[in-house]
Structure 1
Amino acid sequence: MKTKNVDLGLLIVRIGVGLLMLFHGISKLSGGLGFIQGMLEAKGLPGFIAYGVIVGEVLAPLAILVGFRTRIAALIYAFNMVVAVLMVHAAQFFTMSEQGGWALELIGLYFLGAIALFFTGAGKYAASSTNTWD
């Protein structure tokens, strides 16, 4: 008899989506947010919005990794990916990479992984699984 282990699959998705984005967030924390603040200000937006990167690329991935309020964390994460495309990668949206794939395939995978977690939740291998946002 075949058995499915959806919860283990969700854990693996959470580790992939959470850990890989966490590296981006840590890089921005260690390098500073000045670059992002400059981009925002150049577009006429207040520079303090750059601190949203900490929420979208550090706090939300950590919540996804441990499985705490995974659905809301995944929604924040997905929103962060939309902002990243609009702020930095909009010109690449309809382009192909040199290797023949979509130029934004990594961002696309991050976004779709987060959306999947928004709809599924964290599964049973999570810090919390009883709240609506888990």
Structure 2
Amino acid sequence: MNKNNDLGLLVLRVSLGLLMLLHGIAKLVHGLDFIKGMLSGMGLPSFFAYGVLVGEVLAPIALIAGFRTRIAAAIYAVNCIVAIAMAHSGDIFSLSDHGGWAIELLGLYLFGAVAIFFTGAGKYAVSNQNNWD
């Protein structure tokens, strides 16, 4: 059987994009007060909370479409790193009750985005004509 890397990249992009987009939609519906509170508690301006909409709404939509995929993947990965630093830093070196990494879902999002950053979108994408597809 022939391998189809482009189809595999499409599946990866769409799945990562949709899964994170659901988090972004929840924040659009329920608001950003929780994140604003965390930022204020860290001595940071609460308006930084709106950055989560870039990382959890705009970047995932760009990933799904394959538009400026590497840039979108970099934004997505930074969003994951910020989420780990702000909300999950105490769990980085922890295991869950079932033996998995305590932040494995967030880790999967992060490393999936890093993989897409290095591979690009593949040929099934809106912008696949340059190095920053």
Please classify the TM superposition score into its range, dividing by the shorter chain length: over 0.9
Report SS of the residue matched to 2:78.
helix
The residue matched to 1:55 in structure 2 has which SS? helix
- For residue 85 of structure 2, what is the aligned residue in structure 1? 86
Residues 40 and 47, structure 1, Cα contact 8 Å, conserved in 2: yes
Distance 1:133 1:73 in 2: 10
- Equivalent positions of 1:28-43 (< 5 A) are 28-43=27-42
Residues 40-61 of structure 1 show CA distances to partners (whole Å, capped at 9, x for unaligned) of 0110000000000000000000
Equivalent-residue separation in structure 1 for 2:95 and 2:25 (angstroms): 28
Q: Deviations over 1:75-118 (max 9, x none)?
A: 00000000000000001111111111000100110001000000
Please name the residue that 1:68 is paired with: 67
Does residue 1:58 correspond to 2:65, yes or no?
Answer: no
Matched, 1:9 2:12: no
Q: Which residue of 1 aligns with 2:105?
A: 106
Instruction: For residue 10 of structure 1, report the CA deviation from its aligned partner.
Output: 0.1
What letter matches 1:100 in structure 2? G
Aligned twin of 2:23: 24
What is the total number of aligned residue pairs between the two structures?
133
Instruction: Tell me the TM-score normalized by structure 2.
Output: 0.98
Q: Whole-Å Cα distance in 2 between the matches of residues 4 and 44 of structure 1? A: 50
Contact 1:56–1:77 (8 Å) recurs in 2: yes
SS at match of 1:4: coil
Runs of 4+ in 1 over 4 A off after TM superposition: none
SS of match in other structure, 1:96 = coil
- TM-score (structure 1 length as normaliser): 0.97
Q: Which runs of 5+ in 2 are unaligned?
A: none
Shift of 1:132: 2.3
Give the secondary-structure state (helix, strand or coil) at the position aligned to 1:111: helix
Shift of 1:16: 1.2
Contact 1:69 1:131 in 2 (8 A): no
Deviation at 1:131, TM superposition (A): 2.7
